[in-house]
Amino acid sequence: MQASSAIHAAGDQPREAVSFERAALPIDPARRGCDPIVAWSIAFASALAVMAAGHTSGAPSLVVAGAAIFLFIAVGNDVRSYRIPNLLTLPALAAALVVSPWCGAAGGPLEAMLGVATGFALLLLPYAVGGMGAGDVKALMALGAWLGPETTFGATAWALLGAGAFGVSLLALRGELADFFRRWGRIALATLTLRRLVYEPPAPRRAAAGGIPFAAAVAFGLAVQWLEGSPW
């Protein structure tokens, strides 16, 4: 990874900003996940919410069950360790591409591939700046193959809205909201000045460094998408 020059405002301690060329960042102490019992309880509640919303919306039972099972495992791992393993995402992606045109929500092989492309495109920029891991991207690609592009797009929109609202509320409660906006102001200024995308990681032990398990946000987003439709 090539690091750009440090970006900082007057009076702030400089921090290293990373360019669009992404590399794995060290795990912050705030990102240790939580107790396994709590993690799998959240996963179970998420899967139940997805199943209830799917059946209420009239989605095919097999589609609902497949999404709920996948998200149960993804959310459990993500909440517990901030990781969604390849052992889950890659076989699920391959299976969804093969099976979805006949048993899933995708209307055919092309629509399944469009779902994969939708999941990839929606998370490419957040992944590139270090906002989420590769497991999040692969998980959404697998769901895209299973659900098709329209449902994937709407569910991701709801997920981002929900995660954003939760994150802003958490930052406000911890008194870190002003620091968050100052950091992103520096990022925007450096990106415009240097004419390439740069990213300044949050300081260790800040709420922003802890992150939000995105699989849980996707489960929320899919449930709302099935109940309410797309945000627009």
**Is 199 within a domain?**
no
pLDDT at 33 (0 to 100):
63
Q: Whose structure tokens read 């509320």?
A: 169
**pTM (whole model) above 0.85:** no
Q: How many CB atoms lie within 10 A of CB 14?
A: 12
Single-letter amino acid code for the residue at 188: A
3-state secondary structure the chain: CCECCCECCCCCCCECCEECCCCCCCCCCCCCCCCHHHHHHHHHHHHHHHHHHHHHHCCCHHHHHHHHHHHHHHHHHHHHHCCCCHHHHHHHHHHHHHHHHHHCCCCCHHHHHHHHHHHHHHHHHHHHCCCCCHHHHHHHHHHHHHHCHHHHHHHHHHHHHHHHHHHHHHHHHCCCHHHHHHHHHHHHHHHHHHCCCEECCCCCCCHHHHCCCHHHHHHHHHHHHHHHCCCC
**Is 133 within a domain?**
yes
What is the residue-level pLDDT of the chain in tens, covering all 232 positions? 333 333 333 334 434 444 433 433 444 444 556 789 999 999 999 999 999 999 999 999 999 999 999 999 999 999 999 899 999 999 999 999 999 888 878 778 899 999 999 999 999 988 887 778 899 999 999 999 999 999 999 999 999 999 999 988 988 988 989 998 998 899 899 989 988 878 788 888 787 777 789 999 999 999 999 999 998 8
pLDDT at 232 (0 to 100):
84
pLDDT at 146 (0 to 100):
95
Q: How many domains does the chain have?
A: 1
**Is 144 within a domain?**
yes
Q: Rounded CA gap, 100 and 207, in Å?
A: 38
**Is 98 within a domain?**
yes
Report CA-CA distances (Å) from 203 to 11, 13, 136.
15, 10, 22
> Which residues on neighbouring strands pair with residue 198, listed in sequence order?
19
**Is 8 within a domain?**
no
Domain range for 56: 31-174+213-228
**Is 223 within a domain?**
yes
Single-letter amino acid code for the residue at 3: A
**Is 52 within a domain?**
yes
Q: Which of 140, 162, 134, 184 is nearest to 23 (CA)?
A: 134
pLDDT at 101 (0 to 100):
80
**Is 194 within a domain?**
no
Q: What length does the chain have?
A: 232
